[in-house]
Amino acid sequence: MSKIFTLQTRAIKAAQEERWDDAILLNQELLTIDSRNVGAFNRIGFAYLQKQDQASAEEAYQQVLDIDNSNSVARKYLEVIRKKQPVRLPKALRHSDFVDEPGKTKSTGLCRLADADVMNNLSVGMDCEFRCAKTRISVHCDDHYIGSLPDDLTARLQQLIEAGNVYTVKIQSLKNNNIIVFIRERSRAESVEHISSFPSESGGILTLDASDISREDEEPVYMGETGDDEGDNELDSETIEEALKNSYDTDEDEEEVISADDED
C-alpha cells in the first residue's frame, strides 16, 4: 500500500471522527509527497471551515484553484467565504449511518417538496423527523417542512408507526432539485415484530393488509444501496459516497478508499 494511500485513508478517518487538527496535519504530510494533490487541499479547506478558520480555509481552496481552476468544490466555498455568507456545514458524514440493513432501511425520494429557499439551507447528512397526518407523512428538518413520503410508503409506514415502530431519517442526497432521504428502523413494536419495514420491492407492493399482519414470520430481503451513481462535486448535491470523496475525501484520480458496504 502506497504512503499516499495510507495518509489519505488516515486523513479521511480523522475527518470522519471530527479530529480536525489531525486531519489537517495528515493532509499537510501528504502534500510533502505530492504538492499538487487537490484532494488534500480540499480536505484541509474543509477542516479549517469546521474549525471556523475561514482565512486558512480560503488559502487552501485558492491553492486548489491554482492547480485546477475548474474545481467546483473550491469555487463553491471560496464564493461563500468571500461573500461572507454563513457556511452551513454538516458534521463529518459517517458511512455507518447509511449502511443498508435487510428489511430495516430504505432510500426514497420525497414528494411535494418545499420552496427553494428552504431547500437551499439543507445539506447532506442532516437529521430529519417524520410528522404523521391523516394521509401523509411529512419530513421536517430544523422544524421546517422539506417534503413528504410517496403515498405507497406512507400507507405502509403509518400503520407501523401507529403500532409503535420508531424510525430515524437523514438527508442522503440533494441533486437536481430532488431530495433523497435514508430511513432506518430503530425499534420494532412487539405487535409487528414479524413484519419488515421495507420488504423486497420486487412485487411492487408496499402496503400492509390483514394477511401481512397475521403472518408469523416475514423474511427480510437484502436491499442493494440506492441513490445516484453520478453526481457533481458539490457537497450538498451529492450522494453520501460522493460527498465523502469530493468534500474532504478522495481525489478523482486516487484509489477509492471507502466501499459502499464499509463503515467510515
- For residues 61 and 109, membership in a common domain is answered with no
On whether both 195 and 112 belong to a single domain, the answer is yes
- Cα–Cα distance for residue pair 74/45, rounded to 1 Å: 8
Asked if residue 119 is part of any domain, the answer here is yes
Q: Are residues 77 and 103 in the same domain?
A: no
Q: Are residues 19 and 110 in the same domain?
A: no
Residue 222 pLDDT: 26
Structural domain contains residue 247: no
Same-domain pairing of 200 and 164: yes
pLDDT for position 125: 81
* Each residue's pLDDT tens digit, 2-43: 888 888 888 888 887 788 999 999 999 999 999 999 989 999
Per-residue cell: 92: 463529518
129 in the same domain as 61: no
Final residue of a structural domain among 194, 214, 234: 214
List the domain range (segments joined by +) for residue 45: 3-87
d(CA 210, CA 85): 54
- DSSP per residue, 206-227: ----HHHHH-S-----PPPP-S
Q: How many domains does the chain have?
A: 2
Predicted local distance difference test score (pLDDT) of residue 164: 95
Whether 79 and 114 map to the same domain: the answer is: no
Residue 105: which of 114, 92, 95, 113 has the closest Cα? Answer: 95
Final residue belonging to a domain, choices 87, 121, 150: 87
CA-to-CA distance for 53 and 72, rounded, in angstroms?
20
Looking at the fold, whether 143 and 210 belong to one and the same domain comes out as yes
List the CATH number of the domain containing 64.
1.25.40.10
For residue 186, the domain's CATH number is 3.30.70.2330
Residue 146 inside a domain? The answer is: yes
What is the structure's pLDDT at 94? 64
Give bridge partners of residue 171 from the DSSP assignment. 181
Whether 121 and 206 map to the same domain: the answer is yes
CB-side neighbour CA atoms (13 Å) of 9: 13
Specify if 99 maps to a domain. Answer: yes
Residue 253 is predicted with a pLDDT of: 40
Let me know if residue 140 belongs to a domain: yes
Distance CA 111, CA 43 (A): 34
The whole-angstrom separation of Cα 229 and Cα 242 is: 9
Asked whether residue 151 is assigned to any structural domain, the reply reads yes
Question: Of the candidates 179, 198, 214, which is a domain's last residue?
Answer: 214
Same domain, 68 and 139: no
Q: At what angle do helices 38-50 and 72-82 cross, to 10 degrees?
A: 30
Residue 202 covered by a domain: yes
Looking at the structure, tell me whether residues 202 and 112 fall in a common domain: yes
Distance CA 140, CA 144 (A): 5
Low-confidence ranges of the chain (pLDDT < 70): 1, 85-96, 200-264
Reference 4, options 241, 257, 260, 245; nearest CA is 257
How is 116-140 classified by DSSP, letter by letter?
A: HHHHTT--TT-EEEEEE-SS-EEEE
Q: What is the pLDDT of residue 248?
A: 41
Do 103 and 202 reside in the same domain of the chain?
A: yes
Report the distance separating Cα 264 and Cα 254, nearest Å: 17
Q: For residue 196, is it within any domain? A: yes
